[in-house]
């Protein structure tokens, strides 16, 4: 008899003899009558065994997570025993023959339990944790989105091509994972941070449209929700302009999110980086929050404070952000908000509160009375609202208000339901790195500058816009890409600007520059952060919940114990030796 899926049985199957196999999810004993739920990938189905059944003795031994096969007859459940919450809630399987395929110890993670154990336990026993319905659902969604990606891109004429995992260090700006070469002692491969250069070379080779669902590796101190290895949907197209890449990526996005039941209307909203920063104080604004930063430049004269006047005299800006219901914030809470934006050089948050009599709050005294109404109007303050008002350097004020915007959204539950996508375009080509004391690429050094800004490259590199774009979903960057440089001389110019000597350029990127000598088509592309996208589609709170075998924030795989020491012989073969502890500390 052919095995059927436990979760697929319905009342239309009543009277049929069926064979099921799976795990014992739950066992209940109702005065000798045993009820157990049999679980497989498709769901659960109730099995009933009476004391007079031949299977009764075997059934009474069953414990959670044993693996069994059952043959029985589908019948309707008694009135009162029906369960509308599950798909098979109308029926049960009775009159069964039962075979135990595998027994189970008492499992440390019980898939049927309501509360989820500690993450450390879940990761240690990941094979059990993955049996939980939530994880089954997440990984099933991941699978469907992977298949939808392949279908969409194949239909759009993209080749799925693989690029090496053992490669040279690629300059995506993070630290590489290195792999020592045994055959060439002292030399190392790097695991790819992304297939960036290979995909560009594939364009030079004439493949025109490439994609790859590819593992990427970045050896970073893992901030919040990152993984040392993660998956990208990597895309590159020849003869494509920014519009072509954006519209391809939008079409793909629409078909991917449909797998989660989301309906996306295209084209997606767009904002330039400059506008995103000015209006939302972020290059990945969460548009579910109905708050915008307001420029108060025209009201600047109405504030008699040295802080504001000094900032403006130094060429700064004056901007405000409404906190709906913010009158409820205590002095202490304003202090907490101040600490959230300390890193932008703001020590405390100057604010006003609108109550029935007008404005009060730390900044209200400094405001000329006749300007009150204008300020209330500009910020749209209703009675009970407050507003933070900051003066200072453009970017710092924007970023600080951007942080407050998120904080207000958290404190006052401001996020609207639903999901909001947008493109952020026209990123700056370079940014200043305090650490390195020089300009560095904001995206990567292969990003094409906006042709209109080429003339300023050497004199005002920080003012040059890039043909680079990010796709943002609910305040999270889910994809990013750019039009690439395909002109050798321009690429050399950029390397020079980034402070690379000719020799370094030859050494690291000689192969790319060589390729550009032999007919490189204009090209551009984009890469989606696949894990993050699935996390958002699944409504999961961590990317670890959409990856089968993730690592902890320390980069440990608690299941296998990786990373782990290796045998001395292995090290010797690789001509590697552990550094003596005194030296390692230095
Ligand atoms: N390689 C880039 C990244 O990993 C994406 C791209 O430019 O296509 O961020």
Region of poorest pLDDT, from 283-287, 336-340, 362-366, 459-463: 362-366
Structure token pair of residue 63: 């414990």
In our burial notation (b when 16+ CB lie closer than 10 A, e otherwise), range 176-189 reads bbeebeeeeeeeeb
CA neighbor of 518 nearest in space, from 235, 207, 201: 201
pLDDT > 70? residue 375: yes
The sheet carrying 317-323 orders its strands as 294-295, 317-323, 386-392, 351-355, 358-360
pLDDT > 70? residue 171: no
Mutate to test the pocket of ligand 1, among 234, 484, 529 (most ligand atoms within 8 A of CB): 234
Q: How far apart are CA 441 and CA 428, in angstroms?
A: 9
Q: CA 70: distance to chain centroid?
A: 42
Q: Return the ∠ at Cα 325 (arms to 376 and 475), rounded to 5°.
A: 95
CA neighbor of 97 nearest in space, from 61, 63, 56: 56
Kindly report the pTM of this predicted structure: 0.94
Of residues 408 and 361, more confidently modeled? 408
Residue 565 pLDDT grade (very low, low, confident, very high; cuts 50, 70, 90): very high
CA neighbor of 515 nearest in space, from 543, 540, 486: 486
In the prediction, which pLDDT does 379 show? 96
Is residue 507 left, alpha or beta, with left meaning phi > 0 and alpha meaning psi from -120 to 50?
alpha
Mutate to test the pocket of ligand 1, among 527, 531, 532, 533 (most ligand atoms within 8 A of CB): 527
In the prediction, which pLDDT does 579 show? 83
pLDDT > 80? residue 516: yes
pLDDT > 70? residue 172: no
Tell me the β-bridge partners of 71.
19, 97
In the prediction, which pLDDT does 97 show? 97
Which residue has its alpha carbon closest to ligand 1 atom 7?
481
Which residue has its alpha carbon closest to ligand 1 atom 1?
196
Q: How far apart are CA 140 and CA 58, in angstroms?
A: 33
Mean pLDDT of 43-62: 96
Q: What is the mean pLDDT of the chain?
A: 95
Mean pLDDT of 404-409: 98
Q: How far is the centre of ligand 1, averaged over its atoms, from the C-alpha of 526 (Å)?
A: 6
Counting from 1 in the atom list of ligand 1, the atom nearest the Cα of 480 is 5
pLDDT > 80? residue 53: yes
Q: CA 575: distance to chain centroid?
A: 39
Residue 276 pLDDT grade (very low, low, confident, very high; cuts 50, 70, 90): very high
| E strands present in 302-448 | 317-323, 351-355, 358-360, 386-392, 421-425, 430-433, 438-441
Rounded to 10°, the helix 530-538/133-155 angle is 120
Counting from 1 in the atom list of ligand 1, the atom nearest the Cα of 526 is 8
Residue 222 pLDDT grade (very low, low, confident, very high; cuts 50, 70, 90): confident
Q: How far apart are CA 412 and CA 325, in angstroms?
A: 7
Q: How far apart are CA 548 and CA 133, in angstroms?
A: 13
Mean pLDDT of 280-293: 98
Answer positive or negative: Cα dihedral of 537, 541, 543, 549.
Answer: negative
What's the Rg (C-alpha) of the chain? 30
CB neighbours of 186 closer than 8 A, spacing ≥ 6?
575
The length of the chain in residues reads 586
Q: What is the pLDDT of residues 524-543, one digit of tens each?
A: 999 999 999 999 999 999 99
pLDDT > 90? residue 21: yes
Residue 586 pLDDT grade (very low, low, confident, very high; cuts 50, 70, 90): low
User: How are beta strands 468-473 and 294-295 bridged, if at all?
Assistant: unpaired
pLDDT > 70? residue 169: yes
In this structure, what are the phi and psi dihedrals at residue 215, rounded to the nearest 5 degrees? -80, 135
Q: How far apart are CA 553 and CA 405, in angstroms?
A: 27
pLDDT > 80? residue 132: yes
pLDDT > 80? residue 224: no
Please count the helices (runs of H) and the strands (runs of E) in the chain. Answer: 16, 23
> Cis before residue 563, ω within 30 degrees of 0?
yes
Mean pLDDT of 351-380: 92
Q: How far is the centre of ligand 1, averaged over its atoms, from the C-alpha of 498 (Å)?
A: 18
Q: How far is the centre of ligand 1, averaged over its atoms, from the C-alpha of 578 (Å)?
A: 35
């Amino acid at each position: 008899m052919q095995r059927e899926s436990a979760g697929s049985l319905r009342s239309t199957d009543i009277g049929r003899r069926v064979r099921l196999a799976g795990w014992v999810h739950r066992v209940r004993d109702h005065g000798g009558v045993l009820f157990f739920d049999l679980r497989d990938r498709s769901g659960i189905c109730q099995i009933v065994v009476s004391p007079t059944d031949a299977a009764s003795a075997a059934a009474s031994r069953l414990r959670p997570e044993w693996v069994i096969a059952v043959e029985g007859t589908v019948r309707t459940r008694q009135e009162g025993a029906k369960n509308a919450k599950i798909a098979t809630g109308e029926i049960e399987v009775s009159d069964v023959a039962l075979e135990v395929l595998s027994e189970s110890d008492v499992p440390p993670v019980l898939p049927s339990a309501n509360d989820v154990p500690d993450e450390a336990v879940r990761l240690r026993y990941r094979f059990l944790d993955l049996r939980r319905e939530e994880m089954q659902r997440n990984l099933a969604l991941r699978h469907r989105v992977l298949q939808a990606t392949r279908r969409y891109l194949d239909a759009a004429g993209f080749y799925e091509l693989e690029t090496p995992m053992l490669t040279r260090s690629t300059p995506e700006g993070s630290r590489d994972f290195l792999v020592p070469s045994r055959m060439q002692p002292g030399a190392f491969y790097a695991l790819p941070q992304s297939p960036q250069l290979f995909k560009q070379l594939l364009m030079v080779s004439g493949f025109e449209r490439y994609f790859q669902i590819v593992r990427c590796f970045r050896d970073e101190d893992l901030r919040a929700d990152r993984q040392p290895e993660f998956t990208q949907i990597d895309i590159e197209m020849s003869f494509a302009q920014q519009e072509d890449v954006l519209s391809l990526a939008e079409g793909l996005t629409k078909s991917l999110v449909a797998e989660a039941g989301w309906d996306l209307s295209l084209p997606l909203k767009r904002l330039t980086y400059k506008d995103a920063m000015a209006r939302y104080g972020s290059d990945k604004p969460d548009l579910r929050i109905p708050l915008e930063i307001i420029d108060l430049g025209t009201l600047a004269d109405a504030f008699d404070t040295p802080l504001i006047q000094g900032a403006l005299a130094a060429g700064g800006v004056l901007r405000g952000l409404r906190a709906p219901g913010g009158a409820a914030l205590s002095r202490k809470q304003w202090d907490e908000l101040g600490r959230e934006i300390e890193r932008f050089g703001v020590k405390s948050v100057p604010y006003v509160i609108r109550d029935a009599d007008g404005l009060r709050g730390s900044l209200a005294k400094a405001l000329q009375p006749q300007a009150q109404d204008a300020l209330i109007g500009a910020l749209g303050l209703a009675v009970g609202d407050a507003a933070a008002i900051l003066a200072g350097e453009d970017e710092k004020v924007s970023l600080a208000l951007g942080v407050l915007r998120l904080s207000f959204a958290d404190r006052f539950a401001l996020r609207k339901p639903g999901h909001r996508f947008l493109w952020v375009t026209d990123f700056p080509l370079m940014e200043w790195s305090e650490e390195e004391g020089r300009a560095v690429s904001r995206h990567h050094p292969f990003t094409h500058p906006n042709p209109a800004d080429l003339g300023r490259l050497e004199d005002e590199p920080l003012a040059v816009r890039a043909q680079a774009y990010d796709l943002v979903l609910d305040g999270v960057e889910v994809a990013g890409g750019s039009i690439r440089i395909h002109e050798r001389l321009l690429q050399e110019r950029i390397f020079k600007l980034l402070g690379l000597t000719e020799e370094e350029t030859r050494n690291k990127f000689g192969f790319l520059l060589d390729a550009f000598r032999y007919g490189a088509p204009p090209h551009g592309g984009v890469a989606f952060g696949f894990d993050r996208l699935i996390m958002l589609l699944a409504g999961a709170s961590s990317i670890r919940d959409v990856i089968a075998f993730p690592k902890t924030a320390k980069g440990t795989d608690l299941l296998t114990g990786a990373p782990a020491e290796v045998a001395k012989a292995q090290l010797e073969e690789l001509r590697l030796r552990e550094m003596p502890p005194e030296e390692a500390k230095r």
